[in-house]
Amino acid sequence: MATDISPARMGAWRSFLVAHARVTDALAAELEAETSLPLTWYDVLVQLTEAEDKRLRMQDLARAVLLSKSGLTRLVDRMMASGLVTREPCLDDRRGTFVCLADAGRDRLDGASPIHMRGISQHFTSHLSEDEARQLHALLDRIVQANLIPAR
């Protein structure tokens, strides 16, 4: 069998799981409570803001926010109904659709961003020294690279 994992490694794995659950739960709850903005919505708004022309193709956005195609379709439906984003046909490729950041979406993100940043700081980054942050980043990036896209 030999599928043994050293206690140190197993401990790292378990704390990784618990830390993620605790921190993301806290962040999602705070964001929802103080800005009525679900974390998923926030993610979408961030991705759009960082995107060229403040817009993204559905598929690219889906990958960015770690959602399935259908999941994103519904999410965009809801956000459009709330006026935070817009759909715009893609002229180059008429199969495609752009999701565009609406003014209301930009405003909403501007209001929510400080709150979420404070949360990330309080619950996560403030517990890391600058040096530890660099180490953690390098280490996790290595893991990310080793787990490249299994398709979706």
Partner DNA sequence: GCCCGGTCGTTGCGAACGCAACTCATCCGT
Partner DNA sequence: ACGGATGAGTTGCGTTCGCAACGACCGGGC
Dihedral angle sign, alpha carbons of residues 52, 104, 60, 134 = positive
Residue located via tokens 């404070």:
118
CB of 25 to DNA, least distance (A): 9
State the binding partner of 38 from DNA, a second copy, none, CB within 5 to 8 A by kind: DNA
Among 69, 74, 87, 137, binds a second copy (CB under 8 A): 137
* CA quadruple 92, 96, 102, 105: dihedral, nearest 10: -140
> For 133, left (φ over 0), alpha (ψ -120 to 50), or beta?
alpha
- Are 76 and 87 in contact by the 8 Å Cβ rule? The answer is yes
**Residue number, 25 or 132, with CB nearest to DNA:** 25
Report the interface residues with DNA, using CB under 7 A. 38, 40, 57-59, 66-78, 87, 90, 93-97, 152
**Residue number, 63 or 106, with CB nearest to DNA:** 63
CB of 52 to a second copy, least distance (A): 19
CB of 95 to a second copy, least distance (A): 27
